Amino acid sequence: MIEIEHLTKRYGAAAIVDDVSFRVEEGTVAAVVGTSGAGKSTLLRMINRLVEPSAGRVLIDGQDTMAIPEDALRHRIGYVIQGYGLFPHRTVAENIATVPRLLGWDRRQIAARVEELLDLFGLDPAEFAKKFPHQLSGGEQQRVGVARALAARPALLLMDEPFGALDPVIRHKAQDELLSIQRRLGTTVVLVTHDMNEAFHLADRIAVMNQGRLLQYAAPAELLTRPAEAFVEQLVGSAERPFRLLSLMRVQEAVEPGTAEGEPLSVADTLHDALSRLIWLGREVLPVADASGAPVGRISVSRILAHGRARA
């Protein structure tokens, strides 16, 4: 768990990050969003002390980060940036081994960890371990960047626009992959992004920043239904709101008793996906099945639309 308390950064008279406080629970993903220059990167970099705060403090599992020597602190925190910053003169395996090597792991332990991570990220060790960064595609570099950050099993992972340089298809795959790995390892993630879809797709909670101030820190659905300020409403995109809301909910939540003709939807599909299918097939209702394929009821366009409506 990480607690950010009254964190402030001033350059001269300008407060780039202005009295920001929030808390990220163990094993959850927090996204920091906001326009360019809002102070997102500065906030993130104060967590691992790449930037020294002017005021306020950061607690990791209750411990003040100022009490930990900065290099030791950074060994415990994974860090991924846009462009990944892979070492061009080191192989993929050597890049991933960076922090374990600094921590003095023995050679066999490091080799085993590198192999495990390459497997985890779907990169065949036999093919990729010996490659150099310039021999990788953008998507492969991104995966190596995240694998390197996770090498020493940090409980906390900081990511600054980690998917910014990827094309939409690869980006979506990388996001799903990150999410599944994060769920599996239980890593706490703080992620800075420009991309609202990404924030809604990945985050348990979203922090909206503007001009150094934290405007709202809330679950995605709450950001949509109860925006704290006009700026938040504008940022989440008023035209997109119902669709964003629907993609946060599962068919499970809108299923009704009864039967219908056609290929069944899964209870795990989002309402957004379900609506797309209904519109595309020109149907009012479709059957719903559970994970094992057993029918559990049906879903209708009107029930879905009711879920995408503003609440009082």
Partner 1 sequence: MNTILQTTVPGMHSSRSHIILDRLGSVIAVLISIALFAAPFATYRANRIVAGEGRMLTEALPTAGALGVTAVILCVALCAVLARAPVIRLAAAAAGLGAVFPALGWSAGFLTPAGNTFARVSPALGFWLLTLALALLAADALTRLRLGPLARLAALAVAAGAIAGLLLSGAWNDLSLLKEYANRADSFWREARQHLWLALGSMAAACLVGLPLGILAHRFRALRAAVLQVLSIVQTVPSIALFGILIAPLGYLAAHVPLAAALGIRGIGAAPAFIALFLYSLLPVVGNTVTGLSQVPPAVTDAARGMGLSRRQRLLEVELPLALPVILAGVRIVLVQNLGLATVAALIGGGGFGTFVFQGIGQTAIDLVLLGAVPTVALSFAAAVILDAMIDLAKGPSHDRD
Q: Which two tokens stand for residue 306?
A: 């009711």
Which of ligand ATP, partner 1, Mg ion, none lies near 11, with the C-beta cut-off 5 to 8 A by kind?
ligand ATP
Residues 191 to 220: which contact ligand ATP by CB under 6 A? Answer: 194
Binding mask 40-59 for ligand ATP (x = CB under 6 A): xxx-----------------
- Smallest gap from Cβ 23 to Mg ion, in A, equals 22
Cβ contacts of 40 within 8 Å, gap of 6 or more: 32, 33, 34, 160, 192, 209
Which of ligand ATP, partner 1, Mg ion, none lies near 74, with the C-beta cut-off 5 to 8 A by kind?
partner 1
- Smallest gap from Cβ 172 to partner 1, in A, equals 23
Binding mask 96-115 for partner 1 (x = CB under 8 A): --xx--x-------------
Burial code (b: 16+ CB inside 10 Å, e: under 16) for 167-195 equals eeebbeebbebbeebbeeeebbbbbbbeb
Half-sphere exposure of 255 (CA within 13 A, CB side): 22
Residues 158 to 217: which contact Mg ion by CB under 5 A? Answer: none
CA pair distance 20, 212, nearest whole angstrom: 8
Candidate list 17, 41, 77, 123; residue touching Mg ion; CB under 5 A: 41
Q: Looking at beta carbons only, is 39 or 287 nearer to Mg ion?
A: 39
Residue at token pair 């299923």 = 255
Neighbours of 67 (CB within 10 A): 9
Q: Which residues pair with 33 in a beta bridge?
A: 208
Q: Rule CB under 6 A: is residue 38 a binding residue for ligand ATP?
A: yes
Binding mask 53-92 for partner 1 (x = CB under 8 A): -----------------xxxxxx---x-xxxxxxxxx---
Q: Which two tokens stand for residue 276?
A: 């797309």
Select from 35-43, 144-152, 214-222, 274-282 the region that touches ligand ATP (CB under 6 A).
35-43
Q: Rule CB under 8 A: is residue 187 a binding residue for partner 1?
A: no
Q: Looking at beta carbons only, is 81 or 296 nearer to partner 1?
A: 81
Q: Shortest Cβ contact with ligand ATP: which residue?
A: 41
Question: What's the chain's Rg over C-alpha atoms?
Answer: 22
Q: Note the maximum CA span of the chain.
A: 67
Q: Rule CB under 8 A: is residue 135 a binding residue for partner 1?
A: yes
Residues 140 to 159: which contact partner 1 by CB under 8 A? Answer: 145, 148-149, 158
Q: Rule CB under 6 A: is residue 87 a binding residue for ligand ATP?
A: no
Select from 29-37, 71-79, 108-116, 229-237 the region that touches ligand ATP (CB under 6 A).
29-37
- Smallest gap from Cβ 76 to ligand ATP, in A, equals 23
Q: Looking at beta carbons only, is 110 or 206 nearer to partner 1?
A: 110
CA pair distance 251, 264, nearest whole angstrom: 11
Question: Which amino acid is present at 123?
Answer: L
Q: Rule CB under 5 A: is residue 91 a binding residue for Mg ion?
A: no
Residues 2 to 21: which contact ligand ATP by CB under 6 A? Answer: 11, 16
Give the residues lining the site for partner 1 (CB under 8 A): 48, 50, 70-75, 79, 81-89, 98-99, 102, 132-135, 145, 148-149, 158
